[in-house]
Amino acid sequence: MSKYYPELGLTREKLLKKVKSQMSKKRYEHVLAVEEQAIKLAKIHGVDEYKAGLAGLLHDYAKELPTEDFKRLIIEYELDRDLLSWGNNVLHGMVGIYKIQEDIGLKDEEILHAIKVHTVGCPEMSDLDKVVYVADYIEPHRDFPGVNKARKLAKEDLDEAVAYETRGTVKHLIDREIKIYPQTLETYNYYIDYLK
C-alpha cells in the first residue's frame, strides 16, 4: 500500500507524480535524495521525520518555474516588489511556496518555512529549517570540494553545518561575481561564529 499524506489528501504515488511533472529527471532524483537525507538528519537531531521528508521532497518544486509565473505570484500575493529583480535561484524557495500551496495544498507553516528559506537561510532557523538547508547541500549526488566536511558537520552539529554551508555558498557566489541576496548575508552573519 502506498504511503498517504493526510493533510494533502494524496497518496505518495499521486504526490510523486505531481512533483515529477514539474522538473527534469535529474532534479527529480535530487529531490528524492534530499528527502532521504533530510529524514536521516532528522533522526540524528531529533527533528520530526515526516516534516523533514515532505519538505525535502517539495523543496525544489518551483525550481523550473518560468520567470513569468514568479512575477505573477509576487504580484498576486503582494510580496516585496524587490523580489522582481532576482532570478529563480533565489525565488524558487522564497516565492515557490505560494505555487506549492496552490498546486498541492500544503498548509503546514513549519514545512513551508523550511522550503521558503532552503536556499538563502535566515537567522534563527528552526531545526527543521536547518535539516532541509543542510540535506540539500550534502545529499549523495553532491560532489564539490568541501562536501565531505559538510557531511561530517551535518552529523555532529546542525549550527556548524549551516555555518559551513553558508560560508561555502557566499564564497562560491563571490568567486563567480554573482549578486548575493541580502538574507544570505544575514544568515552568514548570524551563523559564522558557530564555525570552530
Q: Is 192 a residue that touches ligand GDP (CB under 6 A)?
A: no
3 state DSSP class of 91: helix
| Shortest CB 75 distance to Fe ion, Å | 22
Question: Which parts of 46-95 fold into alpha helices (H)?
Answer: 49-58, 67-76, 88-94
Q: How many residues bind Fe ion (CB under 5 A)?
A: 2
Min dist. Cβ of residue 27 to ligand GDP (A)? 8
Which residue in the set 2, 89, 148, 189 belongs to the binding site for ligand GDP (CB under 6 A)?
Answer: 89
Measure the CA–CA gap between 136 and 184, rounded to whole angstroms: 16
Whether 150 and 163 have beta carbons less than 8 Å apart is answered as no
Count of H helices and E strands in the chain? 11, 2
Determine the Cα–Cα distance for residues 148 and 192; give it in Å rounded to an integer. 19
Q: Which parts of the chain are beta strand (E)?
A: 4-5, 10-11
Reduced to 3 states (helix: H, G, I; strand: E, B; else coil), residue 77 is coil
The answer to the question of residue 171 lying near ligand GDP (CB under 6 A) is no
Pick the binder of Fe ion from 5, 39, 42, 60 (CB under 5 A). 60
**According to the binding rule CB under 6 A, does residue 99 interact with ligand GDP?**
no
Does 165 bind Fe ion (CB under 5 A)? Our answer is: no
Provide the mask over 121-160, with x wherever binding to ligand GDP is found by CB under 6 A and - wherever it is not. ---------------x------------------------
> Is residue 120 within the footprint of ligand GDP (CB under 6 A)?
yes
Which 3 state secondary structure label does DSSP give 133? helix
Whichever of 11 and 69 has its CB closer to Fe ion, that residue is 69
Q: Three cell numbers at 11?
A: 497518496
Question: With CB cut-offs between 5 and 8 Å by kind, which of Fe ion, ligand GDP, none does residue 67 bind?
Answer: none
Cβ contacts of 124 within 8 Å, gap of 6 or more? 190
Q: Which one of residues 125, 129, 154, 184 is an interface residue with ligand GDP (CB under 6 A)?
A: 184
Paired residues of 128 in beta bridges? none
Among 35, 127, 129, 136, binds Fe ion (CB under 5 A): 136
Name the site residues for Fe ion (rule: CB under 5 A).
60, 136
Name the site residues for ligand GDP (rule: CB under 6 A).
60, 63, 89-90, 118-120, 136, 169, 172-173, 178-181, 184
